[in-house]
Amino acid sequence: MPSHPPVIVHPPSPGGGRRVTVRGRIAGLAHGRGDLAGLLRTELGLRAEVIDLQDPSVIEWRGGGAETWPRP
């Protein structure tokens, strides 16, 4: 059975931001890397500097990568 990363950053929403789910649960809406880091600290207890945002075993990016943050 394939394993899935614990964090999924969903495609940008029309109103701005990207929904973030952690282990299948909605963690919140991120509008940039700072918001994402805050959600990961809260949900996973991890410091942003120890997370490789490009590591596919940790984060799955849908609808654009770590540089894709729409403006509201």
Tens of each residue's pLDDT in the chain, 72 residues? 457 788 999 999 988 899 999 989 999 999 998 899 888 888 777 665 667 888 888 899 999 999 999 876
Alpha carbon 35 to chain centroid, angstroms: 9
The neighbour count for residue 57, using CB atoms within 10 Å, is 10
Joined together, the tokens standing for residue 16 give: 């701005």
What pLDDT, on a 0 to 100 scale, did the predictor assign at position 70?
Answer: 81
Strand partners for 41: none
Listed in order, strand segments (DSSP E) in 1-72 are: 7-12, 18-22, 25-30, 59-61
Supply the pTM of this predicted model. Answer: 0.86
What is the rounded distance in angstroms from the CA atom of residue 67 to the CA atom of residue 9? 12
